[in-house]
């Protein structure tokens, strides 16, 4: 029998990055037992991670050049279940950067926490391959499987500190709420399938466009699907898991969760809302507007009183989700490009901020409270200034990269005449400075406690921080090439 009927070169080419990640993930599980029996050698497993990301990056690069050589906007595999386009490649680069950075900085942190195991790296890679399908999937089943693959890995990773109660609690909360939201999502998907008779996003888009505005069944599908999606990007009122999960998880995983998982969920959200639901805009625009304002309000106001840095950053990431939703509400080219720019700069600045928190975890200090940052500038001025730049960027102060993200979102709101939303969002951008500067105040103005051990830095951590810093500053000062990259990611419809 001729296999090519079922499996073509295109099919293979469209999923090769995910295959690479999965294979290397399996290799790590295998080699962990076979050749690295000594726990101290486990950091050599990073070789596999680096190789995996190398091959993935190479495959992504080949996909880009293939698209350019053929001069086509996208390549679909598996009968339209997977679509490789500028959008998927752009997001996958973000996942790759986040996963690589998180993996290489983890070993010292995990050793300090006494939980350095090989499967950690495997799970990071598996999660990333799930993300691949979230960014490239154009079929409800593919997307759902990608989502669950990613989420399951994260449930385990959040609870990776087995002896830590907070970590266990966080994992359980995340699991239960996550399963619940997946339930909603699948319910919505099943209605979509019932309405349209297909699981392909393109077919669904066509079928929904035929239906009248405010069709009750479309509305039902829309709301239930949105619950699942909004949960994943931690938009209010579905954000409750985020502060607990971010706080309990190992800080490296907090970074991974807040950056890569969020980027993947945003990609998923854009695929659904700009695909099948594009024609139902007048139905979901008011809904999302409400959600976005609520997200900004809760994210920013709840962050004001936090004393734990990870919780604070969790609420701040809720508020960033609100900003990105605003870009979708505006919905014009500037808005969608704005989301891409925003998520790109968010990746670097949020990774950077959390990496500094990673370095705070020393021998017997958890290092996650604002008090642990007190007087950081006296002991480790370099880290204090790094953190300052990341926080300024998170707050959107020029000339850091974060400003550019906010710039595009505001501009898109103005262009689509959402003046009130723009004013509300800009005032929340000002509110945010208060809680980001609580950290700055702690680092720069308060006095340091006596006899604190030095920060736990490693060579990879310093490299990772350097990369994040360079990206945050370069994107802020000379954004031209990065804007072109973001532009290449626009979903062509």
Kindly list the residues in this chain that would bind another protein in the complex (CB under 8 A).
377, 392, 397-399, 403, 407, 410-411, 414-415, 419, 422-423, 426-427, 429-431, 433-434, 437, 441, 444-445, 478-480, 483-484, 487
Indicate the residue among 209 and 430 with the shorter CB distance to another protein. Answer: 430
Measure the CA–CA gap between 59 and 28, rounded to whole angstroms. 20
In whole angstroms, how close is the CB of 196 to another protein at the nearest point? 37
The H-assigned helical ranges of 82-215 are: 86-113, 119-136, 140-158, 165-196, 201-210
Indicate the residue among 160 and 342 with the shorter CB distance to another protein. Answer: 342
Measure the CA–CA gap between 233 and 245, rounded to whole angstroms. 13
In whole angstroms, how close is the CB of 410 to another protein at the nearest point? 6
In whole angstroms, how close is the CB of 383 to another protein at the nearest point? 15
HSE-CB of 206 using CA atoms within 13 angstroms: 6
Q: List CB contacts of 259: < 8 A, sequence separation 6 or more.
A: 94, 98, 346, 347, 350, 351
Measure the CA–CA gap between 416 and 382, rounded to whole angstroms. 42
Measure the CA–CA gap between 203 and 81, rounded to whole angstroms. 11
In whole angstroms, how close is the CB of 423 to another protein at the nearest point? 6
Indicate the residue among 292 and 377 with the shorter CB distance to another protein. Answer: 377
Q: Are 188 and 225 in contact (CB under 8 A)?
A: yes
Q: Are 395 and 432 in contact (CB under 8 A)?
A: yes
In whole angstroms, how close is the CB of 342 to another protein at the nearest point? 15
For residue 237, is the peptide bond before it cis, meaning its omega torsion is within 30 degrees of 0? yes
Q: List CB contacts of 104: < 8 A, sequence separation 6 or more.
A: 46, 49, 50, 460, 461, 463, 464
Indicate the residue among 276 and 476 with the shorter CB distance to another protein. Answer: 476
Query: For 163, which DSSP code?
Result: T
Distances in whole angstroms, Cα of residue 137 to Cα of each of 127, 145, 273, 295, 359: 15, 10, 14, 27, 36
Measure the CA–CA gap between 358 and 255, rounded to whole angstroms. 9
CB atoms within 10 A of CB 366: 16
* Spatial CA neighbour of 489 closest among 52, 54, 60: 60
| Secondary structure (3-state) at 186 | helix
Query: What are the structure tokens assigned to 191, written together?
Result: 């209605």
Indicate the residue among 30 and 420 with the shorter CB distance to another protein. Answer: 420
Distances in whole angstroms, Cα of residue 185 to Cα of each of 278, 341, 355, 364: 18, 27, 32, 42
Query: What are the structure tokens assigned to 64, written together?
Result: 């880009």
| Secondary structure (3-state) at 376 | helix
Query: What are the structure tokens assigned to 91, written together?
Result: 């997001």
Indicate the residue among 21 and 421 with the shorter CB distance to another protein. Answer: 421
Indicate the residue among 239 and 406 with the shorter CB distance to another protein. Answer: 406
In whole angstroms, how close is the CB of 347 to another protein at the nearest point? 20
In whole angstroms, how close is the CB of 406 to another protein at the nearest point? 8
Query: What are the structure tokens assigned to 10, written together?
Result: 């295109």
* Spatial CA neighbour of 486 closest among 231, 256, 266: 266
Indicate the residue among 243 and 402 with the shorter CB distance to another protein. Answer: 402
CA end-to-end span of the chain, whole Å? 38
Indicate the residue among 240 and 474 with the shorter CB distance to another protein. Answer: 474
Indicate the residue among 7 and 419 with the shorter CB distance to another protein. Answer: 419
Indicate the residue among 123 and 429 with the shorter CB distance to another protein. Answer: 429
In whole angstroms, how close is the CB of 378 to another protein at the nearest point? 9
Indicate the residue among 201 and 424 with the shorter CB distance to another protein. Answer: 424
Q: Are 404 and 345 in contact (CB under 8 A)?
A: yes
């Amino acid at each position: 029998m001729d296999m090519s009927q079922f499996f073509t070169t295109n099919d293979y080419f469209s999923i090769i990055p995910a295959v690479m990640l999965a294979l290397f993930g399996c290799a790590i599980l295998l080699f962990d037992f076979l050749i690295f029996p000594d726990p101290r050698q486990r950091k050599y497993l990073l070789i596999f991670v680096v190789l995996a990301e190398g091959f993935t990056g190479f495959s992504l690069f080949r996909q880009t050049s293939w698209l350019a050589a053929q001069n086509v906007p996208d390549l679909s595999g598996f009968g339209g279940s997977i679509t490789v386009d500028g959008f998927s490649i752009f997001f996958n680069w973000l996942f790759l950067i986040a996963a690589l950075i998180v993996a290489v900085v983890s070993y010292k942190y995990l050793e300090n926490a006494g939980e350095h195991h090989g499967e950690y790296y495997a799970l990071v890679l598996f999660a990333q391959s799930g993300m691949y399908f979230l960014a490239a999937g154009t079929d409800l089943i593919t997307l759902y499987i990608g989502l669950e693959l990613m989420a399951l890995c994260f449930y385990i990773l959040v609870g990776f500190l087995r002896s830590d109660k907070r970590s266990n609690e966080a994992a359980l909360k995340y699991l239960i709420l996550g399963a619940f939201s997946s339930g909603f999502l699948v319910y919505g998907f099943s209605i979509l399938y019932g309405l349209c008779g297909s699981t392909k996003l393109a077919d669904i888009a066509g079928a929904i466009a035929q239906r009248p505005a405010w069709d009750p069944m479309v509305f039902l599908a829309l709301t239930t699907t949105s619950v699942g999606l909004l949960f994943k990007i931690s938009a209010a009122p579905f954000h409750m898991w985020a502060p607990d999960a971010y706080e309990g998880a190992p800080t490296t995983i907090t970074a991974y969760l807040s950056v890569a998982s969020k980027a993947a969920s945003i990609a998923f959200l854009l695929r659904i809302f700009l695909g099948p639901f594009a024609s139902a805009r007048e139905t979901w625009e008011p809904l999302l507007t409400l959600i976005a304002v609520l997200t900004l309000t809760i994210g920013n106001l709840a962050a004001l009183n936090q004393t734990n840095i990870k919780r604070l950053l969790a609420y701040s990431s809720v508020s960033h989700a609100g900003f990105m939703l605003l870009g979708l509400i505006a919905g014009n080219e500037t808005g969608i490009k704005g989301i891409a720019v925003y998520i790109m700069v968010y990746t670097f600045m949020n990774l950077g901020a959390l990496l500094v928190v990673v370095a705070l975890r020393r021998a017997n200090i958890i290092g996650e409270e604002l008090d642990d940052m007190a007087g950081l500038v006296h002991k480790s001025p370099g880290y204090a200034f790094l953190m300052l730049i990341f926080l300024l960027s998170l707050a959107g102060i020029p000339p850091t990269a974060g400003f550019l993200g906010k710039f595009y979102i505001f501009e898109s709101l103005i262009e689509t005449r959402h003046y009130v939303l723009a004013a509300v969002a800009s005032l929340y951008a000002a509110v945010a400075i208060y809680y980001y500067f609580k950290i700055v105040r702690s680092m720069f103005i308060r006095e340091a406690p006596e006899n604190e051990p030095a920060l736990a830095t490693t060579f990879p951590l310093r490299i990772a921080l350097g990369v994040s810093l360079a990206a945050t500053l370069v994107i802020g000062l000379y954004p031209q090439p990065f804007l072109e990259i973001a532009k290449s990611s626009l979903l062509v419809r």
